[in-house]
Structures are given as C-alpha cells and as structure tokens.
Amino acid sequence: MIFSLKNKTAIITGGGSGIGKAIAILFARQKAAVHILDFDEKGAADTVAEIKLFDGEATAHSCDVSNHQQVAAIISSIAAKGIHILVNNAGIAHIGTAESTSEADIERLLAVNVKGVYNCLHAAIPYMKKTGGAIVNMASIASSVGLPDRFAYSMTKGAVVGMTLSVAKDYINDGIRCNCISPARVHTPFVDGFIHKTYPGQEAEMFEKLSKTQPIGRMADPAEIAYLVLYLCSHEAGFITGCDYPIDGGFIKLNN
C-alpha cells in the first residue's frame, strides 16, 4: 500500500472536526495509530467512534493546546510506542484590522495558533529524535498574501511558517522532516457557522461568493487537504523538508 502509515504513531491536534477530522480518519485508514488532541471532547470522541467503525486505531485526548503542562503530559503518555508523526492542525480565526483587533484578541490567537504549535513541538520533538519522523504544521494563504481584516490571523500563520523552517533546519540530522501547508478556504463546519452568524438569511448567496474567491470556483473539501498532509507524512515524501505548500485553488498565483 503506497502512503502506508503502518506501525506509525500519529498525533493530530484539532482532530475533532473539519480538516483535522479528515486527517485523522485518513491516517487511520492508512493504518496509523492515531491520537487526537482536541479542546472539543465530544468532537474528538465522535471522530474516534467513526474510525472504530472500520476497525481503525484511534484515541481521543481532551487537550487545550495552549496549556504547556497539559500538552507535555499527554504527549509523554503517548510516547511509549514512539511518536513518528505530528500534525499541528488546531487553530482559531479572527476578523479585524490592526486598529480593531484588541489586545485580548492578539493574546488569544497567539496562545492557540503560535504557542499551541510551540507546545506540541517542544513536547514531541525529544521523542521524535529517537525514531525520526514527519511534522506538518497548518499555515494559511494568509501567511503569503494580504487579506482584508485578517491582521492577527495573518500574523500567527506567518509565525507558523517561521517555526516550520526553523524546526526543519535544526532537526534535519535527527531524521525529522518538517513542512507546512497553506490552504485557502475549506468547506468546514466552522465556515458554515461563520456564514450563518455573520450573514443570517444570506447563507446561500455568501457561500457562493466566498467559494468564488478561489479562481478554481469552489472551496476545498477537507479530504483534499488531508491527502496532501498524508503525502508529506509518508515515506514517499522522504526527500521533502522545510517547505510551505499552498493548496489554494489558484488563490495565490492566479488572483489578479
């Protein structure tokens, strides 16, 4: 089986919904032992239950990735069989400019989107140095192009790219590869909730409008993002490290 993850232990943050859920399910189908770290206990449990339906191996861990001690304890408990893959997917969004973004907003996004990634890297890398492996961090097109009203979000995703390059450089001789991916809009429950909350009564119209901001004319499906993550974490991608991969329906290069 190509892209097999048999005998690999994979940690996926934010695996209770959306992109993280798609990654967790795909990794389990590829025979990885999947560990989902998520603040949403029910979402994580539901993902595990779905994986168990096809006899996949998965465990849910209630976790706030911004909590350094909690992340360290959970990852330590997973490490008995080695840690081979880390996917830093958990993140939160924010709408606002430099003027309208409050200090509290900045601190909240830094805590999850930046410190949360750091916490997982800090805890997992010592174990991964023993086994080698792959890390994929979730960045965004917001780290590469200017988007309106995305000041804090863009800042944090730029930091994710910087952390990716640093880890790739520091641990290349330990057999650890580190890459990040930069999606454009992906059709997740978060997007549906955002549209419903922000544009009540205009859901269909706004969904169509947001879909067409990608030159390809639609949003991505979470599974399409998951397949790229699978490739980057697989043996077949063994020559790839220190890269940021746009997966954006042409947004960065084709929008004029």
Q: Judge contact between 210 and 184, C-beta under 8 A.
A: no
| CA dihedral sign of residues 204, 210, 213, 216 | negative
- Please pick, among 153, 171, 227, 231, the residue that the annotation labels catalytic: 153
Q: At what angle do helices 115-131 and 68-78 cross, to 10 degrees?
A: 20
Question: Quick one: which H or E segment has residue 179?
Answer: strand 176-183
Which string of DSSP letters, residue by residue, matches 24-42? HHHHHHTT-EEEEEES-HH
* Catalytic residue status for 231: no
Q: How far is CA 185 from the centre of its chain?
A: 13
| CA dihedral sign of residues 57, 60, 64, 67 | negative
Q: Judge contact between 219 and 155, C-beta under 8 A.
A: no
Q: Judge contact between 47 and 16, C-beta under 8 A.
A: yes
Which residues are part of the catalytic machinery? 153
